[in-house]
Amino acid sequence: MIEINHHRYSFPKLLTLGFLAVIAVGTILLLLPFATRPGRQTGVMTALFTSTSATCVTGLTLVDTATHWTPFGQLVIALLMEIGGLGFMTFAVMTSLLIRRRLKMSTRFLVQESLNLDNVSQIQVVTLIIKLSLLIQLLGTALLYADFGPRYGWGKGLWYSFFHSISAFCNGGFDLFGNSLANFRTDPYLLVIFSVLIIAGSFGFLVWQDLLQFKKAHRMSLHTHLALKTGATIMVLSVIVYLITEKNLSQFDGQMGWGMRLVNSIFMAITPRTAGLTTFSYTDLSAAGLSYTMLLMFIGGTPGSTAGGIKTTTIGLLTLQAVATLRGHRDPTLAHRRFRQDNVFRALTLLFVALIIIAVAILILAETQVLPERNPLTYLTFEVMAAFGTTGISLGVTAKLNLLGKLVIMALMFIGRVGIYTVMFSIFNAQPKQPSYRYPEEGVLIG
């Protein structure tokens, strides 16, 4: 429990309210007259949706970012992605750093709980990670400028470099090109820079912390082991799957040799995990590719990162647990350590609740929206997964949603970013205290 102005808030409630406050401020800023280009109009719903999509680093849009918003509006979107990407608690630390004030003790505890840190002294590591984050984005801007500068002239080139470095590192998914990165699909330099930025941003704090301290500690946490191994496994598997399923992708035909096709397949494997920047229109993806991409978006990235979805550690732990159960073993293990049992419960509950949320969302949207002629249910499901995974790859359904549809997608982006447990705990008002009695135990038949 955290006390602010004599009101006591649980941490999940505070985090949920914090995100809502950021979205509200973003909405107001986007509604300012000089945020919208002359000749365009911004309704409250469009501002709210855009602010939610940016804060939840998703990238689904109702209007074209480049032609609808002024540079001021785009700057608001970039800042919202930065706050949403690093997490707003981290942002509090960052602000303190920038204005060189000592962190208040209450803020320290908030940061600590928000980032699952063991003690206050570790906040030193957080400041290091924040500095590193900003450095990477600065470096990203410079490296992108090497291409965008000559291509667009220095003013526009610098602005594009800055915006897309943030969008890539924070896995925000917004772009100023109208067709994401499709213009650059045969440019290996840009694709590599973007890939590195995306991967760097999707590691999450705990992994960064472990990697930074590895030289000193010579030991990685079980979390980092699991996150890196699951991530690498999914990555390799995804490249192979896309090389097979998209061998006939019409948009690439005649444009590239096998080398560029491999680079694009790697990019295809990276981006649905949470980034959402794409090198071609996903409406051309094969049926197998679509279903696999939905799966990747559902899984999402590393917890504590900018990613949505149910997270790689969840899927990794569940796989280890399932194999252990099916082999008749008691414990799921990795790197000579076993997982805490309540972690497994948390992972399994998360999967189940995520499935219910997605099923309900699909059902509501299928019943209330005017569906596309082509593949109505598939396209709808894809958009739901893109919102829940805060991936933001769109097949064009989002732009045509009615009010209820927009609200559902916004709720999915919010849950995807803030986290099922955080949102559910604030709704259910979880009481950690147990009833003083336990009922007698009895088994049932399962499966």
Binders of K ion in range 163-182 (CB under 5 A): 171, 173
Q: Pseudo-torsion of CA 375, 376, 381, 386, nearest 10°? A: 80
Cβ neighbours around 118 below 10 Å, total: 7
Output 138 or 360, the one with its CB closest to its own copies: 360
Q: Closest separation between CB of residue 14 and its own copies, Å?
A: 17
Output 21 or 356, the one with its CB closest to its own copies: 356
17, 135, 287, 399: residue in contact with its own copies (rule CB under 8 A): 287
- Residue 173 interaction partner, one of its own copies, K ion, none, beta carbon < 5-8 Å per kind: K ion
Q: Which of 89, 81, 93 is nearest to 116 (CA)?
A: 89
The DSSP line for 118-142 is SSGGGHHHHHHHHHHHHHHHHHHHH
Query: Binding marks (x or -) toward its own copies, 25..64, rule CB under 8 A?
Result: ----------------------------------------
Output 161 or 274, the one with its CB closest to K ion: 274
Between residue 135 and residue 164, which ones bind its own copies under the rule CB under 8 A?
none
Q: Closest separation between CB of residue 204 and its own copies, Å?
A: 8
- Residue 140 interaction partner, one of its own copies, K ion, none, beta carbon < 5-8 Å per kind: none
Helix 287-299 to helix 312-326 angle (10° resolution) is: 100
- Hey, what are 224's tokens? 């980092």
308 belongs to the binding site for K ion (CB under 5 A): no
Cβ neighbours around 403 below 10 Å, total: 9
Output 96 or 343, the one with its CB closest to its own copies: 343
Q: How many angstroms separate the CA atoms of 305 and 124, rounded? A: 18
85 belongs to the binding site for K ion (CB under 5 A): no
- Residue 59 interaction partner, one of its own copies, K ion, none, beta carbon < 5-8 Å per kind: K ion
363, 396, 402, 404: residue in contact with its own copies (rule CB under 8 A): 363
Q: How many angstroms separate the CA atoms of 139 and 157, rounded? A: 15
Q: How many angstroms separate the CA atoms of 272 and 261, rounded? A: 17
377, 396, 399, 400: residue in contact with its own copies (rule CB under 8 A): 377
Q: Closest separation between CB of residue 76 and its own copies, Å?
A: 29
272, 276, 301, 419: residue in contact with K ion (rule CB under 5 A): 276
Beta bridge partners of 4: 7
Q: How many angstroms separate the CA atoms of 278 and 272, rounded? A: 9
Between residue 136 and residue 165, which ones bind K ion under the rule CB under 5 A?
none
Q: How many angstroms separate the CA atoms of 359 and 357, rounded? A: 6
Q: How many angstroms separate the CA atoms of 342 and 58, rounded? A: 30
Number of residues that bind its own copies (CB under 8 A): 90
325 belongs to the binding site for its own copies (CB under 8 A): yes
For residue 334, how many C-alpha atoms fall within 13 Å in the half-sphere facing its CB?
Answer: 21
Output 301 or 316, the one with its CB closest to K ion: 301
310 belongs to the binding site for its own copies (CB under 8 A): yes
Q: Which of 360, 386, 367 is nearest to 271 (CA)?
A: 386
392 belongs to the binding site for K ion (CB under 5 A): yes
Sorted by sequence, the CB contacts under 8 Å of residue 65 that are 6+ apart come out as 74, 77, 174, 175, 176
Q: Closest separation between CB of residue 181 and K ion, Å?
A: 13
Between residue 397 and residue 436, which ones bind its own copies under the rule CB under 8 A?
419-421, 424-425, 428, 430-435
Q: Which stretch binds K ion (CB under 5 A): 34-42, 83-91, 126-134, 275-283?
A: 275-283
Q: Which stretch binds its own copies (CB under 8 A): 54-62, 79-87, 209-217, 314-322?
A: 314-322
E strand or H helix at 7? strand 7-9
